[in-house]
Amino acid sequence: MELAYYSDYAVRLVNSEEPARGKDTLTTVEAVRELFGVNASAARRATDGDVTRFRSVRARLRGVFEAADSGDETLAVDLLNSLLMEFPVSPQISGHDFRDEDGRPLWHMHLADHPSNATAGYAAIAAMGLAFHLTEFGVDRLGLCQASPCRNAYLDTSTNRSRRYCSDRCATRANVAAYRARKRLEADRSDSSGLAAESAQRSSASGER
């Protein structure tokens, strides 16, 4: 498993809240457990106390994305480094679930779960995954959706660094909004031109009299 895969942990946690819309799905221990996805054993360690702790980590991870999105590369790295220092990881070589043609394990690096509590384990994996993604692909690959008021986090994996939206739905919504805005502008210009022409005609007719 590629270590950059773990960056999705950060995206899932950040996007559990939509501040501009006043939405927050991270309100119960069940919601915390759902963030772990297939990692059911780690999710079972979650308790009610992890809800508040997860929210704190979420705010710090969003800060990384906000700094990257605004072009402040140094701040994004500093914020991420502070998370890495507070939540260290335990890398391990693993061969589970992956076999070559001869049935031998395909060895790969794996980030072991932190044993102390669910928040520490999740934060360590999310921060390290995001760090690998940042160093491998660049800070500008961390973005926030440009379809207002969404602002969900995303990881740009496009070949030409062109991604601007968190999903196809938001991209379509933004394109439709931009199209309608252009049409309104064209209509306003047409109305203004018509009024100007009409005014010119009245002035000309008045002058002839």
Taking residues 169-183, report their average pLDDT: 79
pLDDT at 176: 80
Instruction: Give the pLDDT of residue 179.
Output: 66
Q: What is the pLDDT of residue 1?
A: 44
How many other C-beta atoms are found inside a 10 Å radius of the C-beta of residue 60?
A: 16
> Considering the entire predicted model, what is its pTM?
0.79
Residue 159 per-residue DSSP state: T
- pLDDT for res 183: 73
Question: Could you give the C-alpha distances from 125 to 39, 57, 179, in angstroms and in order?
Answer: 12, 12, 41
Q: Bridge-partner residues for 92, per DSSP?
A: 110
pLDDT score of 50:
96
Residues 93-99 have a mean pLDDT of 73
User: In sequence order, what are the residues at sequence separation of 6 or more whose Cβ sits closer than 8 angstroms to the Cβ of residue 44?
Assistant: 33
- Over residues 52-79, the pLDDT tens digits come to 999 999 999 999 999 999 999 999 999 9
Query: Predicted confidence band at 188 (pLDDT cuts at 50, 70, 90)?
Result: low
Mean pLDDT of 166-192: 77
**How large a percentage of the chain has pLDDT more than 70?**
82
The model's pLDDT over 104-159, given as tens digits with 9 standing for 90+, comes to 887 877 777 666 789 999 999 999 999 999 999 999 999 999 998 999 999 998 88
- pLDDT at residue 191 is higher than 80: no
Q: What is the pLDDT, as a whole number, of residue 209?
A: 55
Q: For residues 51 and 30, is the Cβ–Cβ distance under 8 A?
A: no
pLDDT in tens, 14-50: 999 999 889 999 999 999 999 998 777 889 999 999 9
Q: Which of 13-17, 154-158, 170-174, 185-189 is the least confident region?
A: 185-189
Angle between helices 49-69 and 7-14 (to 10 degrees): 100
d(CA 30, CA 46): 8
Predicted pLDDT at 34:
95
Beta bridge partners, 17, equal: 24
pLDDT at 207 over 70: no
